[in-house]
């Protein structure tokens, strides 16, 4: 069977194609991403560095190799083909924290042509606590701050941090069958709670975390030194007890925590706005018109979360930008 040239694209191929263009033409840098969901995020990231000299083209793996997950992107598509004119852009998952514990993590953390999100996944950026009030305003057109997102996720993170260290230790040492990512997410789940009294759910979470830590300490009585070393390592990597939620599995944070929380808050904010319309309308016709106008203006919570870009002052995002800037300054 003949092999198509486009199935063997690498950085040298793209570089050769760039050289065939007129001198005034912009240099094209191909950026491979993992899935359709990643295209918009990485386009937003990379477009900030485009100018009259270069531009990025964000692409997915070819049709025959369209498997989800960065390992398939790296091994079956990118391989050793990344370089000056072809890069890979992936979710960090745990690979950033594992550093060189696995072949994949070593490749991601040492190759200058592979860029990762630092936080676990794009969803974690979309759930960046300082941006969540603005998401609520966009959804409901109501600027009433009825919930302190930053304080809640700070407390959540501080409670979960010791257990999170255990999770990273388990993956570094190959003990993840005893404490998997799913296990961590099941414990680090506050469930449905009264948004007027979030402290009750946090106290319950603290108890669950404590029980799991006691179990792990009994199961791995000789792990203390390894645990302390793992803790020191991830602190050096920029993880803090106050930002643990950014490094927990993104789908869990988005689907099981932030989206349900915002849905309940936005429901109350909508009720507030509708009640205001009821009380301020002069007559019934005006009230109906105002309510109809308002209903047509509000947005869906999950859709607004997925398009949330209020994370651009997040320290991890700024580090990602620095990495891309350093890459471009190499040439």
Query: How high is the pLDDT of residue 305?
Result: 96
Tens of pLDDT, residue by residue, the chain (331 residues):
344 444 556 655 455 555 556 566 799 999 989 888 899 999 999 999 999 999 999 988 764 444 555 555 555 566 667 888 989 999 999 999 999 888 888 888 998 999 999 999 999 999 999 999 999 999 999 999 999 999 999 999 999 999 999 999 999 999 999 999 999 999 999 988 889 999 999 999 999 999 999 999 999 999 999 999 999 999 999 999 999 999 999 999 999 999 999 999 998 988 877 676 676 666 877 777 666 676 776 778 999 999 999 999 999 999 999 999 999 998 7
Look at the alpha carbons of 299, 300, 303, 309 in this order and tell me if their dihedral is positive or negative: positive
How many other C-beta atoms lie within 10 A of the C-beta of residue 6? 8
Query: How high is the pLDDT of residue 5?
Result: 40
Parallel, antiparallel, or unpaired for β 54-59 and 27-33?
Answer: parallel
Query: How high is the pLDDT of residue 62?
Result: 65
Distance CA 91, CA 70 (A): 7
Query: How high is the pLDDT of residue 14?
Result: 57
User: What are 54's strand-pairing partners?
Assistant: 27
Task: Give the three-state DSSP class for 50.
Answer: coil
Q: Are 204 and 156 in contact (CB under 8 A)?
A: no
Q: Are 200 and 271 in contact (CB under 8 A)?
A: no
Residue 170 in tokens? 């388990």
C-alpha closest to that of 32 among 52, 46, 19, 18: 46
| Beta-sheet strand order (sheet of 86-90) | 54-59, 27-33, 86-90, 114-116
Query: How high is the pLDDT of residue 4?
Result: 43
Every domain of the chain and the residues it spans: 5-119, 124-311
Q: Are 147 and 201 in contact (CB under 8 A)?
A: no
pTM greater than 0.85 = yes
């Amino acid at each position: 069977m003949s092999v198509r040239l486009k199935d063997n694209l690498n950085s040298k191929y793209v570089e050769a194609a760039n050289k065939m263009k007129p001198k005034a033409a912009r240099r094209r840098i191909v950026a491979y991403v993992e899935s359709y969901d990643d295209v918009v995020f990485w386009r937003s990231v990379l477009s900030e560095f485009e100018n009259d000299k270069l531009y990025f083209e964000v692409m997915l793996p070819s049709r025959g190799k369209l498997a989800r997950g960065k390992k398939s992107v790296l091994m079956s598509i990118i391989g050793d083909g990344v370089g000056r004119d072809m890069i890979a852009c992936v979710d960090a998952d745990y690979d950033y924290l594992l550093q060189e514990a696995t072949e994949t993590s070593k490749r991601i953390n040492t190759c200058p042509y592979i860029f990762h999100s630092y936080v676990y996944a794009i969803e974690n950026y979309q759930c960046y606590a300082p941006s969540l009030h603005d998401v609520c305003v966009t959804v409901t057109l109501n600027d009433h701050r009825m919930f302190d997102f930053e304080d809640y996720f700070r407390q959540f993170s501080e409670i979960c941090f010791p257990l999170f260290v255990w999770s990273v230790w388990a993956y570094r040492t190959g003990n993840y069958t005893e404490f998997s990512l799913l296990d961590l997410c099941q414990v680090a789940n506050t469930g449905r709670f009264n948004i007027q009294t979030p402290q009750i759910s946090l106290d319950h979470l603290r108890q669950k975390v404590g029980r799991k830590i006691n179990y792990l300490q009994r199961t791995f009585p000789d792990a203390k030194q390894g645990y302390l070393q793992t803790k020191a390592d991830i602190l050096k990597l920029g993880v803090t007890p106050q930002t643990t939620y950014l490094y927990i599995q993104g789908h869990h944070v988005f689907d099981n925590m932030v989206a349900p929380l915002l849905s309940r808050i936005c429901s109350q904010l909508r009720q507030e706005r509708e009640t205001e319309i009821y009380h301020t309308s002069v007559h019934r016709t005006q009230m109906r018109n105002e309510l109809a106008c308002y209903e047509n203006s509000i947005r869906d919570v999950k859709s607004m979360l997925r398009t949330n870009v209020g994370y651009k002052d997040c320290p991890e995002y700024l580090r990602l930008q620095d990495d891309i800037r350093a890459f471009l300054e190499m040439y």
